[in-house]
Amino acid sequence: MSKTGFSPADILLPATGNYETWAVVACDQFTSQPDYWERVEQTVGDQPSTFRLILPEAQLSDGHTEEHIEKINKTMLKYQEDGVFTVYPDALLYLERVQSDGRVRCGLIGKIDLENYDYSPDSSSLVRATEGTVLDRIPPRQAVRRNASLELPHIMLLIDDPDNSVIGPLEAAAKAGEGMEKLYDFEMMERGGHATGWLLGEDLKESSQSALAALGEGKPLLFAVGDGNHSLASAKAHYEEEKAKGIGTADTLLSRYALVEVVNLYDDALEFEPIHRVLFDVDPQDVLDSLKASYPGTGEDSFCAEACAEGEGRVHRIRYAWEKGEGTLVVPDPQAQLEVGTLQSFLDEYLKEKGGRIDYVHGDDITIKLGKEPGCLGLLLPAMDKNDLFKSIAADGPLPRKTFSMGHAEDKRYYIEARKIK
C-alpha cells in the first residue's frame, strides 16, 4: 500500500435480499431524465436498495436537498442496525461487468488512500484527475458525505497496463474457478447488463497488490480517475475538513480512504467516445475567423499553409458545421497534446469576451444538425487514443472538461458495495 496507495477494505454487501433491486446506477447519470429515476423507485419499492442511500443529481434542483440528505443518513444507520449488511473484512473483490453491448469489463475493488490523491492542475500525486475539476460541483457532494456513515462508490481508477499484469490473472482465476469465492451474480435493472463479483483469496490478494506495485515502480503517475472525478474530489474535501476540525488524525479517520474500482485502460470493453461542442447565439464566421487568428498558420484543410500538410509536423484537425456548410480547420504545431486542448482553451476565452452559450454533445449527427441551425456552430473532435491519456496528463495536467466519455450511461458503474466512513 505504501507504494500504490491502494489496499483491501472492509467491504459491505447485502446479507440477504435481491441484488437486482439493490444495485442502481451512478447518481450523476440521467440527470435530465427524472422518469428514469421514477422507474427505479417503482422497481425498488420497499426493498433494501442503494437507491435509498444516494442522492441522484436529478433531484438536486427540487428544493428538498437537505431533507433528502437527512433521510439518506438515517437509512444508512437503519440498514446497519437492521443487519442488512454482511461485512467482508480486509477484502479485495474482482468484478466482471457485462455491458449493454455484450462486452465484459473487468475491475478490482478496494480502497485508495486520499493522501495520495490531488486534483489540482499541477498535481504530482500517484492518483490524478483526468479532467479539470469544477470546484462548484464539490460542495453539494461534500454535503451528502459530511454526516453519512457509509460511502457507495462509482469511482473508477484507470491503470496504464498494456500487458494486463494486474487484472489479467484475476480474469484467468475466475474462469478456472480457483482462488476466489463468488459473492454475487445478477442482472442489473434498466438495461445495465450483468454483474458478477468474487472475493479474492489470500494468495490472489497478495499477488494482485504485488503486480500493482510492480506496475507503478518508478512511475510518478499510477492512477488516472476515469469516472467519478468530482465524487473522489468531494471525498478528499470531506477528509481534509475532518482533519482540520480535529475529528481524528490521519491514521484514525475512516474518511481518509475511498472505495474504488481499478480498471485497465486497455480493457477491450473500455471505449473512449468523443464529446463534441455546439455553440449557440454566436456569429459562426467570427468564431472561425477568431480561431484562425488565435493559432497562426491555421487554415482550411484543403487550402491550409504548407506547414499544415501531411508529414510536415504535428497538426490538429477540428471539423465544423454551420448553416453555410461543413469543413475542417487545421492547426499546425499545436502546443496542447490533444485537439480538445487546442479547441477548449480558445473557446473559453472567446465566449468570455464575446458571449454565447456552449453545450457538450455526444454523436456526430446531432452535433452537425444542431450546428447548422441559425446562430450556431458545431465543432467536432476526434476520438481520443487510449495511448495518449497518461502521456497527456503527465505533460499538460488534467485534460479539459468533457474531453471523453467512457461508454453509455447505462454502462456506468452501479452501486453494489459499501464501506463505513464513520
Residue 401 covered by a domain: no
Domain count, the chain: 2
Query: In sequence order, which residues have a C-beta less than 8 Å from that of residue 393 and are 6 or more positions away?
Result: 128, 130, 221, 224, 399
Distance separating alpha carbons of residues 76 and 272, to the nearest angstrom: 35
Query: Do residue 124 and residue 259 come from a single domain?
Result: yes
Query: Do residue 180 and residue 228 come from a single domain?
Result: yes
Alpha carbon of residue 122 to chain centroid: 20
Query: Do residue 30 and residue 166 come from a single domain?
Result: yes
Residue 390 covered by a domain: no
H/E stretch holding 145: helix 138-146
pLDDT for res 415: 97
Query: Do residue 45 and residue 91 come from a single domain?
Result: yes
pLDDT for res 1: 58
Residue 386 covered by a domain: no
Query: Do residue 76 and residue 221 come from a single domain?
Result: yes
Query: Do residue 213 and residue 289 come from a single domain?
Result: no
Query: Do residue 341 and residue 411 come from a single domain?
Result: no
3-state SS, one letter per residue, for 243-283: HHCCCCCCCCCHHHEEEEEEEECCCCCCCEEECEEEEECCC
Residue 395 covered by a domain: no
pLDDT for res 302: 58
pLDDT for res 369: 93
Distance separating alpha carbons of residues 87 and 227, to the nearest angstrom: 26
Q: What is the pLDDT along the chain (422 residues), one digit of tens a residue?
A: 568 999 999 999 999 879 999 999 999 888 778 899 999 999 999 999 999 999 998 887 788 889 999 999 999 999 999 999 999 999 999 999 999 899 999 999 999 999 999 988 888 899 998 887 777 778 878 888 999 999 998 999 999 999 999 999 999 999 999 999 999 999 999 999 999 999 999 999 999 999 999 999 988 899 999 888 889 999 999 999 999 999 888 889 999 999 999 999 999 999 888 889 999 999 999 999 999 999 999 998 754 444 444 445 789 999 999 999 999 999 999 988 889 989 999 999 999 999 999 988 878 998 999 999 999 999 999 988 888 889 888 877 888 878 888 877 889 999 999 999 99
In this structure, the number of other CB atoms found within 10 A of the CB of residue 153 comes to 24
Residue 389 covered by a domain: no
Q: Is the dihedral of CA 303, 307, 310, 316 positive or negative?
A: negative
Q: What residue type is 220 in one-letter code? A: P
- Is the separation of the CB atoms in 4 and 125 below 8 Å? no
Query: Do residue 340 and residue 367 come from a single domain?
Result: yes
Query: Do residue 213 and residue 244 come from a single domain?
Result: yes
Alpha carbon of residue 215 to chain centroid: 22
Grid cell for residue 115: 493522501
Which residues constitute the domain of residue 347?
Answer: 276-380
Of the candidates 237, 80, 81, 227, the one whose C-alpha atom is nearest the C-alpha of residue 144 is 237
Query: Do residue 369 and residue 239 come from a single domain?
Result: no
- Is the separation of the CB atoms in 371 and 320 below 8 Å? yes
Alpha carbon of residue 33 to chain centroid: 20
Query: Do residue 12 and residue 160 come from a single domain?
Result: yes
pLDDT for res 236: 94
**Which CA distances in Å does 145 have to 243, 266, 338, 376?**
15, 32, 35, 40
